[in-house]
Copies of this chain bind each other. A is one copy, B any other.
Amino acid sequence: MPGEGFKALADPTRRRILELLREGNCTAGELAEHFDISKPSLSHHLATLKNAGLVTDERHGQNIVYSLNTTVMQDLIGWFMGFTNTGGDKDE
């Protein structure tokens, strides 16, 4: 299940989207201003992130506002914590 999350994170455009969303919620159009790709391409990336559970979307009038879902991000961090000794020990 976390597989989708890792795959979603593999693309630099999608990681950048998450970084932008970290600063605050954005509409698809606002996000588009930060990239040199077409809107359909961006929409596709957003769909991938949504499918992985990393973002949620909500329509506000004409706009669709995207937000970060930090819960799923936490799950991914949980996987990493198994590899570190500082702060997240569980079995060593």
Contacts and interface: CB of A to CB of B under 8 A. Distances in A.
A29 interface: no
A15 B6 contact: yes
Interface residues on A, range: 20 to 34
A23 to B, nearest CB: 10
Contacts of A38: none
Contacts of A70: 83-84
Contacts of A6: 6, 9-10, 15
A31 to B, nearest CB: 17
Interface string A60-87: 0000000010100110110111111001
A3 interface: yes
Closest 7 CB pairs of A and B: A10-B10, A7-B10, A73-B83, A77-B80, A6-B9, A6-B10, A3-B12
